[in-house]
Structure 1
Amino acid sequence: MACGLGAVILLFVLLKYDIGQREFEDDTLAGELAGLQERERQLNEKTKVVDQRSREEEKLRRELSDEILKFTKKLAAIDRNLSSQKHKNQALKKAIETTPIKKPADVVQDPSLGEEDYVLGLKVEGARIAILIDHSASMTDVKLVDIISRKTRSDAIKKKGPKWVRTKKIVRWLLARLPDQAAVAVIVFNDQVRTLGPAQWVGGKDAKALEKIFSDLETLVPVGPTNLQEGLEHLNKLNPRSTDLYLITDGLPTMGNSNYGGLVSFFKCSSLMGKSANISGECRKELFRKTLKDSGPGSGVTANIILLPIEGDPEAAPEYWRWSATTGGLLIAPAEGWP
């Protein structure tokens, strides 16, 4: 009886322990389950975030792909346009190269002048341009012996002198390059002076007037002394006054209009007193300086000198250079082949 009671008590104790143990384990498992569920919830949230980002990135990828496709199409169109434009440019270039250029008719026609537009910086410019031409006897040749020989020959032979032929070409060269709005006066001098053409001033693009100047020039014979003062005094009478002067000559003057008798500097210049047919280089220099002092064109006139060659007048270049430089003009001694 006692043994049976003990067994029952032992069984009861064991059963009570087992129940307590199970309750403890259930609580532990419930806690772990709750933790797992919380982790699952967090993972689900992260998964949602990742999915959302994936969808956004996919959308962005598609948009970028669409933009790339658009730009690719635009580039292809640009390439086609460039290729087409290149062909058009080549065709246009070929057309330009093969199209004859029609130049406006020059008022002064002279094939021998070529296309030279400058000589050592010389430009034909100004509102009122005066061209002063020396047509004395020395304007026929360079060497004194040839000048002297030609003096005794016919007018036709004098007019064929190489320096005079060149002078006429220079006049044509200057007139061919007159500015469109310029007026021009052409004056010739030796011991006398005259204006060429139909009027004192003519338009730079007046073909008929320029042709009259050329025809008048062709009638001239280079003879007599060089009276630069005569030419300058005539120049000063132009109305309105000239703005630019182009003088074509070959040396210093040999004659003047002033009274030199009472001047000490001309005491030895017997030719200027009518006592000699010859004039020295020193007297010519003094005569030139006196001429400019008494009859120079004054301020406001730019003097450009085209000095042709001659023997025996070494002072001409420095004297003419000094004059042109003070006016802002040029002195040129052109090369033999010009114009």
Structure 2
Amino acid sequence: MRLKRRSEDGFNMSFLDVMACGLGAIILIFILVDFHAFQPEPTDESNKLQQELNAAARQREQLQKSIDEINEKIALESSTQQDTRHAQTDSNSSQSKLLQQISTELAVVADLEQQLAAIARLPVPDANVQLSGTGQQNYLTGLKVEGQEIGILLDKSASMLGDNLLEILRFMALPDNQKISQRKWQRTRRAGQWLLARAPQNAKITMVAFSEDAIVLGNRAASSPQVADSMAAIVRDMGKIIPQGGTNLQLGLQKLREVHPQVKDVYIITDGLPTLGDGLGARCRGVLTSKKTISSQCRQELLLETVKRAGQGLRVNVILLPLEGDPYASAMYWSWTQVTGGTFLAPAAEWP
């Protein structure tokens, strides 16, 4: 049987499928197309907003950087404070230990001072003159007062008032009662008393005070072995001396030789080279110049001349209370004492 052919419609299902695929392709093309090309041109307002956003971003970065720096500083300060606390703790510990050591040493020193004071209060069997104070007699000086024929020369010139020229000039203008209270002169007198206190009991002692003149102190103790009354008389006469004038050591030695010809051991208390005496040349005597002062070289020559005139057979000991501006005194007096077998002493400021 022959089949009848059906008439076909122009819009069948296949045609619709083709049309759907084409539409999908067009949509896909629109999706893939870069729409930026079709975007509108940016306006001034959008540019301004973008600039503000960029500025805000930069500011945010700067703020973040500042915050990081602040955090670093805080961390560093915390570490420093911690180190400081540790150091302070160590320092406090060291200070506590040091204070404890100082306290211990002070206690030891106080105990020694008490012992020394107790010793000083004990009577000294061989002391002719007792000295006041705490332990001054117990200094180790290396100077021993010995011999049977003893002479003591005490410098009473104006220079014994002070340690330098300005002090001497100022003190020379004071009344006599203030001159004798000056520290250096008080020390000089105590040095003389120290020698008297340490002299042997059976020795003959003569003390001569010298400056531009020379006077014998006491009751001519050289005539017989010293006794308590003669020692007290010497000390009493020392208290009446007013320091003044130049230093004539030759005159002091001459006076000592006159009143005590048998003298063997001489103890000189002075502060420098002599300024007056005989035997100098015309230059040092001031014949060729109008100067009233004496140079250091002339003072050295004057001491050498004094040593020559002192004669032989003396053992010379010197207690020097140094005067500023007289640098050769120590060396020359030391040489003199060494040649004669004596002792040279330049004591500390608190002696005797």
The TM-score range, normalised by the shorter chain, is 0.5 to 0.7
- Corresponding residue SS for 1:129: strand
Contact 2:208 2:215 in 1 (8 A): yes
Gaps of 5+ in 1: 1-99
Contact 1:270 1:276 in 2 (8 A): no
Give, in angstroms, the shift of residue 245 of structure 1. Answer: 0.5
CA 1:106–1:330 in 2, change beyond 3 Å: closer, same or farther? closer
Post-superposition Cα deviations, 1:282-337, rounded to whole Å, max 9, x if no partner, equal 111111111222x21x2221100000021100011111111111000011100111
Letter in 2 for 1:212: A
1:286 maps to: 301
1:311 maps to: 324
Equivalent pairs counted in the alignment come to: 232
For residues 38-187 of structure 1, the aligned pairs below 5 Å read 104=125, 106-112=127-133, 114=135, 116-117=137-138, 119-187=140-208
Post-superposition Cα deviations, 1:7-64, rounded to whole Å, max 9, x if no partner, equal xxxxxxxxxxxxxxxxxxxxxxxxxxxxxxxxxxxxxxxxxxxxxxxxxxxxxxxxxx
Contact 1:113 1:173 in 2 (8 A): no
CA 1:283–1:114 in 2, change beyond 3 Å: closer, same or farther? same
1:338 maps to: 351
Give, in angstroms, the shift of residue 272 of structure 1. Answer: 7.2
Contact 2:153 2:268 in 1 (8 A): yes
Gaps of 5+ in 2: 1-120
CA 1:200–1:120 in 2, change beyond 3 Å: closer, same or farther? closer
Give, in angstroms, the shift of residue 116 of structure 1. Answer: 3.2
Post-superposition Cα deviations, 1:245-274, rounded to whole Å, max 9, x if no partner, equal 00000000111134x3xx3xx52x254778
- Corresponding residue SS for 1:305: strand
Contact 2:127 2:198 in 1 (8 A): no
1:6 maps to: none
Q: What is the TM-score when the length of structure 2 is the normalising length? A: 0.61
Give, in angstroms, the shift of residue 276 of structure 1. Answer: 2.4
Alignment RMSD (CA, Å): 2.3
- Corresponding residue SS for 2:163: coil
Output the CA distance in 2 between the equivalents of 1:253 and 1:182.
28
Contact 2:157 2:210 in 1 (8 A): yes
CA 1:205–1:112 in 2, change beyond 3 Å: closer, same or farther? farther
For residues 320-331 of structure 1, the aligned pairs below 5 Å read 320-331=333-344
Give, in angstroms, the shift of residue 106 of structure 1. Answer: 4.5
- Corresponding residue SS for 1:219: coil
Q: What is the TM-score when the length of structure 1 is the normalising length? A: 0.64
Output the CA distance in 2 between the equivalents of 1:195 and 1:116.
25
1:92 maps to: none
Give, in angstroms, the shift of residue 120 of structure 1. Answer: 3.2
Contact 1:132 1:245 in 2 (8 A): yes
From 227, 234, 243, the counterpart of 1:213: 234
CA 1:113–1:166 in 2, change beyond 3 Å: closer, same or farther? farther
CA 1:103–1:110 in 2, change beyond 3 Å: closer, same or farther? closer
2:282 is the counterpart of 1:277: no
Give, in angstroms, the shift of residue 207 of structure 1. Answer: 0.9
Give, in angstroms, the shift of residue 181 of structure 1. Answer: 1.4
2:84 maps to: none
Output the CA distance in 2 between the equivalents of 1:286 and 1:106.
38
Contact 1:119 1:334 in 2 (8 A): no
Output the CA distance in 1 between the equivalents of 2:338 and 2:127.
32
